Amino acid sequence: MSDQFSGRVGLIFAAIGAAVGTGNIWRFPRMVGANGGGTFLIPWLFFLFAWSIPLVIAEFALGKRSRTGTIGTFRIFAGKRFAWMGLWTAWISTAIGFYYAVVAGWTIKYFQLGITNGLTGPGVDTQQVWNEFLTSATDVIFYQFVVIAITLFAIWKGAKAIEKVNVILMISLFVLLFMSLGLSLWMDWSDGSLDGFLFMFTVDWEMLGEPSIWINGLSQSAWSCSAGMGMAMTYAVYMRKDEDTTLNAFTMGLANNSISIIAGLAVLSAIFAVESDPLATVTGGSSAITFLALPEVFAQAPGGNLGAWIMMSGFFLALSFAALTSMISTVELCVRNFVDHGYSRDRSVLLTSLAIFIFGIPSAVMWISFADDGTAFPQFLEVQDHIWGYGLMFSGLFIAFTIWKYGYVKWRSEVEAGQAPPGFRGYLGVGVSAFRDDFINTGDNDIWIGRWWDILIYLAFPILFTILIVSYFGDMIMNTPNVWDPSNPHGITIILLFWGVVATGFMFFNYKLVERPLFRNIPEGAEVDISGLPGGDDDLVCEAGSYPEGWEHLAKNSA
C-alpha cells in the first residue's frame, strides 16, 4: 500500500524538521562567534543559495520521480551499477544516527535537569553535573533509549504520523526559541549595550577577504541544511503528484536558516549580557557552550528563579525537539530503503531502531576522556564524527553525478537520433539543461528554475566540493601530529581506511541489491513515467503491491 503526506504543509514541516537539528542551535552560534559575528552571515547566506537549495531541489526532483529511497533512486536514475551510491548515502546518514541519538539523549537529559532546577541554585557546578552525567553509562544509555523509542513511535505508521509529529515539534520549537530570544534580548538590553545583538549583525568588511570565513560558511550551510544527505529525497517519496519541489526547497532552506539566526541571537545575546569575555565562551566548543556555559548564563535570566527556570527548560526543550526531528528523518531514510526492497514497515522500523541503539552504545560509554580543564568529553563519539561527518559530501557529489550522467546520456541519444547537434555546443544546449527541463520545471512548480541552477550543479558544485575537501584534509595535515598514523583517531588514514572499506564493500554488494525487486511508492493519481531512465526497463522495478514473477513470496514479508 502506498503512502503520502496529506499536503504541502505536512511536507514542509517534515522537511524543515529534517534540516533543523542541534547544529542550528549549538554549532551555529559557535561559528558566528569564531568568524566575526555578522561577517559570517554573508558567506553562510550566499552558500544557502549556491549549495544547499540547489541540492535540495535536486533531491526533491529525484525522489518525486523515482518514488523510492536513496538506493532505489540511484538504481533508477543512474543504473544498476550505481545502486551502491544510494547505499552509501543511506549508510552515512545511519552511521551518523548511531551517535546522534546519544547527543539527542544529552539534550533530553538537560531538559529534565532544567525543569527540575538541577542546573540552578547555590552550589551547582555545571562542569561537575556534566562530568557525572557523561561518565554514568546507565544514564547516557537510558536517554539514548528514550530518543530512539520516541523516534520509533513517531515513524511507525508512516508518512501521516511523521507529518503530524513534525508539525507539533516544529511549531513548538519556534515558540520556545522565540521565548528564549525574548528573554535573551531582555538580558542584553538590561546591561545597556545590546552588544550581543550588535555583534550578531555587524559586518567587518575586511574579514570577508579571508578564505577561512567563506570555507566555514560553506561547511555550516552544507551540514545544517541536510542538503545531499538523502533526507529530502526520502520525504519526496511521499509527495503528491502536483507538489511543488522548487518552492518547498526554498521554504525549507530559508526556514532552516531563520531558525539558526533566532537560536544564534538568543545564545549570543545571553552570553554577551553576563560574560566578561563572551567570545572566549562562545568559541570554547559546541558541547562546552551548550552544557557548561549556557546553564550558568541562563541562571542569570531576568525574573529571578522563575525566569531562570523558564529560560533553562524552554531552551533545552527546543534543543530536544530539534534533535528529535533530525532523528526521525535519519531513521525514516533507512526504513524507506528496507520497505522499498520488500520488507514490512513494522519490521523495518523495529530493526533499524534496534540497530541504531546497539551500534550507538559504544559512542555512549566508550573512551570518555578529560580535557586539561577537567571537562569530560566522549572521545569515541568524536572519532565517529571525524570519520563519517565528511562522508556526507560524497553523497552530494553522487547526486550531482547522477544529474550529469542523465544529461550526457540524453544528449547522446538525441545526437544518434539526429535531434541534437554533436560537439560541446550541442551538449551545452541539450545535455546540461536536460535534468532541469525534465524533472524540475514540470509545470507544478511556482518558482521557475533557470540556467543559474545548471551553472551551480555543473560548475560551482564540483569546485566547492574540491575546496571543502582540500581545506579539510589540508588543515588536518598541517595541524595534526602523526596525521598519517593509522592508529591516530584524529588522523587522515583512519578516515580513508573506513571510507575505502565501506565503499568497496558496497560496490561488491551492489549485485545483490539489483537482483532483488524494488517497490516504488506510487499513491493513487501520482503515477510518473520512468521508461526513459535506466531503471525503466528493469523487470524487477515495480509498484508497491505488485510482485515480479517468482517473487510473490515477498508478500508475506511485507504484510
Query: Cell 541534437 belongs to which residue?
Result: 420
Return the axis-axis angle of helices 391-416 and 70-77, rounded to nearest 10°: 30
The model's pLDDT over 482-500, given as tens digits with 9 standing for 90+, comes to 999 998 988 999 999 999 9
What digits encode the pLDDT tens for the residues 87-116? 999 999 999 999 999 999 999 999 999 999
Residue found by looking up cell 550543479 in the block: 457
Cα dihedral 446/405/336/255 (nearest 10): -40
Give the separation between CA 74 and CA 84, rounded to whole angstroms. 8
What is the pLDDT averaged over residues 200-209? Answer: 93
Q: How many C-beta atoms lie closer than 10 Å to residue 62's C-beta?
A: 27
Return the closest-CA partner of residue 173 out of 262, 93, 250, 84. Answer: 262
DSSP secondary structure string, 249-302?
HHHHHHHHHHHHHHHHHHHHHHHHHH-SSHHHHHTS-HHIIIIIIHHHHHTT-T
* Of residues 549 and 63, more confidently modeled: 63
Cα torsion 351, 353, 357, 360 to 10°: value is 100
Whether the pLDDT of residue 286 is over 70: the answer is no
- Residues 178-214 as b/e (b if ≥16 CB within 10 A, e otherwise) read ebbbebbbbbbeeeeebbbbebbeeeeeebeeeeebb
Given a cut of 90, is residue 373 above it in pLDDT? no
Task: Tell me how far apart the alpha carbons of residues 31 and 426 are, in angstroms, rounded to a whole number.
Answer: 44
CA distances from 398 to 43, 255, 267, 333 (A): 24, 26, 36, 17
In eight-state DSSP terms, residue 520 is E
With contact defined as beta carbons under 8 Å apart, do 25 and 322 qualify? Answer: yes
Distance (Å, whole) CA 330 – CA 344: 18
Pick the CATH number of 8-366+392-539 from 1.20.120, 1.20.1740, 1.10.150, 1.10.3470: 1.20.1740
**pLDDT value at 192 more than 80:** no
Distance CA 327, CA 303 (A): 34
The three-class DSSP label of residue 4 is coil
Rounded to whole angstroms, the Cα distance separating 314 from 312 reads 6
Q: Among 201, 198, 178, which residue's Cα sits nearest to residue 273?
A: 198
Domain boundaries, the chain: 8-366+392-539
User: Which H helix or E strand runs over 369?
Assistant: strand 368-370
Residues in contact with 232: Cβ distance below 8 Å, sequence separation at least 6, in sequence order:
15, 18, 56, 59, 60, 63, 226, 249, 252
Residue 542 sits at φ, ψ, to 5 deg, of: -145, 175
457 vs 523: which has the higher pLDDT: 457
Mean of pLDDT values over 115-133: 89
User: In Å, how far are 9, 274, 459 from 29, measured between CA atoms?
Assistant: 29, 16, 31
- The pLDDT, as a whole number, for residue 287 is 66
**425-471: per-residue pLDDT in tens?**
888 888 999 999 999 998 888 889 999 999 999 999 999 999 989 99
Q: CA 148 to CA 170: how far, in whole Å? A: 18
DSSP string spanning 37-88?
A: THHHHHHHHHHIIIIIHHHHHHHHHHHHHH-S-HHHHHHHHT-GGGHHHHHH
Look at residue 368 and tell me whether its pLDDT is greater than 60.
yes
Q: What are 130's three cell numbers?
A: 556534566
